[in-house]
């Protein structure tokens, strides 16, 4: 009797797991769901969930269901390594969408590279993220482009701003972006009067702001993330700083507006994507997103939505249920690497994505937004081509 | 020169806040030789409770501040009663590990109740003269005193500074002139003997926790006025304040005040003139230097038992 029951149980379990392996395709979405950058992670999760829902409602990937595993790296490189080990050693996961922070993408890269699994980042902009591994891709611009863009925008569009100061986060992202900005500013002759650093998770910036204020810059470029940037803008206006604040994609979060409050008014920032300047598909996605989650999507939700879409497309074209996991992981990489011309690129809501030899996205533009009446809106004048 | 004056005042304001927190560490250490790692979390609760009183219960700011102090004093006493009193005669390490545990529990409790998202006091709920913002056209700053040479000093910072000084003087008088102050000093000297002399030591220790926690709560609210209120705010400020307490000579209240001011000034001047990327590091280097030269801190007594 007992043997018979055990036998039945084993048959039952085998059939359940057997079925599941065939029906389900697992993709990890690694991002900061806790910690200082949690607001980014929240939007990344929502963007991924919307794409997952749409794919599965349309019948899945060749009849197989797409399952997303959300892995929290807390925005820290040390956590990202642990998460990457866990993902790489799970033989059911075929690819990774993430990480968000450049330092996390770099920390995870070593492990993904060894395990042979694709890492497609919807948020890391540090210059060297993709160079280090054939397995790392991203679907947005790099900081050298972004830093150059901001310097040219200030020089060519905001022509009454003649002197600038840089206030940067002392980590991979902040330093890389600052360096790109500074070298372009020097090249085009923008007058750089001060360069100050701060530590991630600082909350008091009065000392550096006082020091910047004494140099009287017309504009202050904050090379960092929204949590610190929000406080910098707020404390700057309290301390009598009248300079024009300018931020980059790290500031692009609705939480920036709540932290800075009324001081956010008139702040400029660059972003890899903005719904205000996007096509009909993006507007449709925004409407679906709002219906599903009850809030409007942001840049990161849209980029993650596209990143999940790219992995799904790769799976649809290459996945072979009978092949070994390593071969399936490799096939995804080969597919992404083959998207190397505009004709073959992936057309998503954030525009056309195709890669160069490193896995960097080529020719995706930057947009400028400004805070108006407590909302991000596309700036009146965009800069479409760099000199 | 003008910049130096403004930086100096920035440092004093931050130092005053550190001093208020450091006093809480040092008073508890002085009396039961425990480094109360949960103190930074009480500081954080002070800010959150005031925020809750204001936004959820619509209580005016001036009443929310003392109410939050009172609630934090009760929280401090509760922690002592539940976590530290049962371990009073246990090895010191047990109490220390418990303190770290309590700190983690409170931090995660705050994350559960209020989420990890940074919050601020809504501007409209604060007293009008606390809100300084620059006029973008004229460059004048509302609700601030102009300093010679173009610097400014917001009224709010004046209030923080004055309140810190008043509370410090009040604490000093309490310790030296009142009966409970005398009992505290007696317990700090020798707890067993004080007990034999009829001093209710447990009660005195509870009151010590209450006072330290109330001062921590005020500091938490002050910080919340210009910075973010987050579940981890107690950690960062707590570590700096603890450094201040050690610098001044842990167990010595005047030393904690002095240490707070020194760390605050070092942090701000270091960030303003050397590099902002290492502002806490600069404070630590000063602390380490002092500890190497004077292991008992600036004003600490050099006894073998004090770490």
Which one of A207, A214, A242 has the shortest CB-CB distance to B268? A207
- For residues A273, A275, A277, A279, the Cα torsion angle rounded to the nearest 10 degrees is 100
Q: Using the predicted structure, report yes or no on whether residue A19 has a pLDDT greater than 50.
A: no
- Span A238-269, pLDDT tens digits: 999 999 999 999 999 988 999 999 999 999 99
Domain-embedded: residue A358:
no
Yes or no: say if B253 and B244 are a contact pair by the CB < 8 Å rule.
no
Query: Rounded to whole angstroms, how far apart are CA atoms A347 and A190?
Result: 37
- H/E stretch holding A269: strand A268-271
Task: Say whether both A13 and A95 belong to one domain.
Answer: yes
Query: Rounded to whole angstroms, how far apart are CA atoms A367 and A382?
Result: 7
Domain-embedded: residue A89:
yes
Cis-peptide into A354, omega within 30 deg: no
pLDDT of A34 reads 86
Task: Say whether both A259 and A314 belong to one domain.
Answer: no
**DSSP structure string for A133-147:** -TTEEESS--HHHHH
pLDDT, averaged across chain A: 91
- Comparing alpha-carbon positions, the chain A residue that sits nearest to B230 is A36
Task: Say whether both A37 and A109 belong to one domain.
Answer: yes
Yes or no: say if A206 and A235 are a contact pair by the CB < 8 Å rule.
yes
Domain-embedded: residue A75:
yes
DSSP one-letter code for B84:
I
pLDDT of A14 reads 53
Task: Say whether both A155 and A246 belong to one domain.
Answer: yes
Q: Which residues of B touch A (CB under 8 A)?
A: 2-3, 6-7, 10-11, 14, 116-118, 120, 123, 132-134, 136, 139-141, 144, 150-152, 154, 223, 226-228, 232-233, 236, 267-273, 275-280
Q: What is the mean pLDDT of residues B41-52?
A: 97
Q: How many beta-carbon pairs under 8 angstroms link A with B?
A: 107
Q: Using the predicted structure, report yes or no on whether residue B191 has a pLDDT greater than 60.
A: yes
Q: What is the mean pLDDT of residues A126-145?
A: 93
Q: Using the predicted structure, report yes or no on whether residue A1 has a pLDDT greater than 60.
A: no
- Percent of chain A beyond pLDDT 90? 83
Task: Say whether both A232 and A374 belong to one domain.
Answer: yes
Task: Say whether both A7 and A136 belong to one domain.
Answer: yes
* Residues constituting chain B: 307
CATH classification of the domain holding A330: 3.40.50.2300
Q: Using the predicted structure, report yes or no on whether residue A2 has a pLDDT greater than 70.
A: no
Is B272 in Cβ contact with A199 (below 8 Å)?
Answer: no
- Span B274-300, pLDDT tens digits: 888 777 787 778 878 888 888 888 888
- Comparing alpha-carbon positions, the chain B residue that sits nearest to A216 is B150
- Plot region of A97 (φ>0 → left; ψ -120 to 50 → alpha; else → beta): beta
Q: Using the predicted structure, report yes or no on whether residue B87 has a pLDDT greater than 90.
A: yes
Task: Say whether both A147 and A36 belong to one domain.
Answer: no
How far is A205 from chain B, CA to nearest CA, in Å? 9
B24 band by pLDDT with thresholds 50, 70 and 90: very high
Is B134 in Cβ contact with A237 (below 8 Å)?
Answer: yes
- Span B103-147, pLDDT tens digits: 999 999 999 999 888 899 998 899 988 888 888 888 888 888 888
- Percent of chain A beyond pLDDT 70? 94
How far is A213 from chain B, CA to nearest CA, in Å? 9
pLDDT of B306 reads 40
pLDDT of A9 reads 56
Domain-embedded: residue A59:
yes
Task: Say whether both A149 and A243 belong to one domain.
Answer: yes
Q: A35 to chain B: which residues are within 8 Å by CB?
A: 116
- Span B235-258, pLDDT tens digits: 889 989 999 999 999 889 999 999
Query: Rounded to whole angstroms, how far apart are CA atoms A139 and A358?
Result: 12
3-state helix, strand, coil in chain A (%, to 5): 50, 20, 35
Q: Does A207 touch chain B (CB under 8 A)?
A: yes
Task: Say whether both A234 and A204 belong to one domain.
Answer: yes
Q: A210 to chain B: which residues are within 8 Å by CB?
A: 3, 6-7, 10, 151, 272
Task: Say whether both A214 and A103 belong to one domain.
Answer: no
Query: Rounded to whole angstroms, how far apart are CA atoms B276 and A339?
Result: 43
Dihedral sign, CA of B109, B112, B118, B121? Answer: negative
Query: Rounded to whole angstroms, how far apart are CA atoms A10 and B119?
Result: 53
pLDDT of B132 reads 85
pLDDT of A16 reads 52
Is A235 in Cβ contact with B139 (below 8 Å)?
Answer: no
DSSP one-letter code for B270:
I
- Percent of chain B beyond pLDDT 90? 69
Pairing of the two strands A219-223 and A244-247 = parallel
Interface test with A, best of B277, B278, B283 (most A CBs within 10 A): B277
Please state the φ and ψ torsions of residue A129, each to the nearest 5 degrees: -60, -45
Task: Say whether both A122 and A243 belong to one domain.
Answer: no
Please state the φ and ψ torsions of residue B220, each to the nearest 5 degrees: -60, -40
- Span A268-298, pLDDT tens digits: 999 999 988 888 999 999 999 999 999 999 9
pLDDT of B297 reads 87
Interface test with A, best of B141, B276, B278, B282 (most A CBs within 10 A): B276
Interface test with B, best of A76, A174, A210 (most B CBs within 10 A): A210
Q: Which residues contact B86 (CB under 8 A, 6 or more apart)?
A: none
Instruction: Using alpha carbons, list the distances in angstroms from residue B95 to B35, B83, B85, B92, B201.
Output: 9, 8, 9, 5, 17
- Which residues form the domain of A160? 143-271+367-378
Is A170 in Cβ contact with B223 (below 8 Å)?
Answer: no
Instruction: Using alpha carbons, list the distances in angstroms from residue A162 to A157, A270, A360.
Output: 12, 19, 33
Number of domains in chain A: 2
Domain-embedded: residue A57:
yes
Domain-embedded: residue A359:
no
Q: What is the mean pLDDT of residues A142-170?
A: 94
pLDDT of A276 reads 82
pLDDT of A32 reads 95
Q: A197 to chain B: which residues are within 8 Å by CB?
A: 275-277
Domain-embedded: residue A137:
yes
Task: Say whether both A35 and A119 belong to one domain.
Answer: yes
Domain-embedded: residue A387:
no
């Amino acid at each position: 009797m007992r043997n018979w029951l055990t036998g039945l149980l084993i048959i039952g379990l085998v059939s359940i797991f057997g079925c599941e392996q065939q029906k389900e395709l697992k993709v990890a979405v690694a991002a900061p769901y806790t910690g200082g950058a949690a607001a980014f992670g929240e939007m990344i999760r929502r963007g991924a969930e919307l794409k997952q829902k749409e794919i599965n409602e349309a019948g899945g990937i060749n009849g197989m269901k797409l399952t997303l595993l959300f892995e929290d790296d807390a925005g820290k490189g040390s956590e990202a390594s642990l998460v990457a080990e866990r993902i790489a050693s799970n033989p059911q996961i075929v690819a990774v969408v993430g990480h968000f922070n450049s330092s996390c993408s770099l920390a995870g890269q070593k492990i993904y590279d060894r395990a042979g699994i694709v890492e497609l980042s919807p948020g890391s902009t540090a210059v060297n993220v993709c160079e280090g591994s054939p397995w790392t891709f991203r679907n947005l611009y790099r900081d050298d482009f972004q830093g150059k863009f901001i310097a040219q925008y200030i020089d060519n569009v905001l022509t009454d701003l003649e002197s600038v100061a840089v206030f940067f986060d002392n980590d991979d992202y902040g330093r890389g972006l600052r360096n790109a900005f500074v070298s372009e500013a020097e090249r085009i002759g923008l007058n750089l009067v001060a360069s100050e650093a701060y530590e991630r998770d600082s909350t008091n910036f009065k000392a550096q702001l006082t020091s910047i204020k004494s140099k009287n810059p017309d504009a202050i470029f904050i090379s960092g993330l929204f949590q610190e940037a929000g406080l910098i803008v707020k404390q700057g206006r309290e301390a009598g700083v009248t300079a024009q604040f300018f931020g980059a994609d790290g500031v692009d979060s609705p939480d920036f507006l709540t932290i800075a409050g009324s001081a956010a008014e008139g702040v400029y920032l660059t972003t890899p994507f903005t719904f205000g300047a996007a096509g009909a598909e993006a507007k449709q996605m925004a409407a679906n997103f709002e219906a599903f989650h009850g809030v409007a999507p942001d840049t990161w939700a849209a980029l993650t939505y596209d990143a999940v879409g790219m992995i799904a497309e790769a799976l649809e074209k290459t996945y072979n249920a009978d092949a070994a996991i390593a071969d399936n992981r490799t096939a995804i990489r080969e597919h992404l690497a083959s998207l190397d011309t505009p004709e073959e690129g992936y057309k998503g809501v954030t525009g056309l994505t195709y890669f160069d030899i490193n896995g960097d996205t080529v020719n995706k533009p930057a947009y400028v937004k400004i805070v108006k009446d407590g909302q991000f809106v596309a700036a009146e004048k965009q800069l479409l081509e760099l000199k | 020169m003008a910049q130096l004056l403004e930086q100096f005042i920035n440092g004093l304001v931050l130092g005053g806040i550190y001093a208020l927190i450091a006093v809480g560490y040092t008073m508890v250490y002085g009396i039961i030789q425990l480094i109360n790692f949960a103190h930074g979390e009480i500081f954080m609760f002070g800010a959150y409770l005031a925020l809750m009183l204001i936004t959820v219960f619509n209580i005016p700011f001036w009443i929310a501040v003392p109410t939050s102090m009172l609630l934090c004093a009760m929280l401090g006493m509760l922690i002592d009663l539940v976590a530290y009193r049962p371990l009073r005669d246990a090895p010191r390490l047990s109490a220390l590990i418990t303190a770290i545990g309590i700190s983690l529990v409170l931090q995660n409790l705050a994350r559960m109740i209020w989420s990890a998202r940074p919050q601020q006091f809504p501007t409209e709920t604060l007293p009008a003269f606390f809100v300084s913002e620059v006029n973008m056209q004229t460059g004048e700053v509302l609700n601030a005193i102009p300093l010679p040479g173009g610097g400014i000093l917001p009224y709010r910072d004046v209030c923080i500074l004055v309140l810190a000084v008043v509370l410090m003087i009040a604490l000093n008088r309490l310790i030296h002139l009142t009966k409970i102050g005398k009992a505290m000093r007696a317990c700090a000297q020798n707890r067993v003997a004080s007990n034999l002399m009829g001093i209710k030591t447990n009660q005195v220790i509870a009151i010590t926790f209450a006072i330290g926690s109330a001062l921590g709560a005020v500091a938490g609210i002050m910080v919340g006025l210009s910075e973010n209120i987050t579940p981890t705010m107690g950690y960062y400020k707590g570590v700096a304040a603890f450094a201040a307490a050690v610098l001044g000579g842990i167990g010595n209240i005047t030393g904690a005040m002095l240490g707070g001011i020194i760390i605050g000034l070092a942090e701000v001047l270091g960030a303003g003139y050397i590099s902002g990327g290492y502002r806490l590091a600069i404070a630590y280097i000063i602390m380490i230097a002092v500890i190497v030269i004077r292991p008992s801190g600036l004003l600490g007594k050099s006894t073998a038992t004090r770490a």
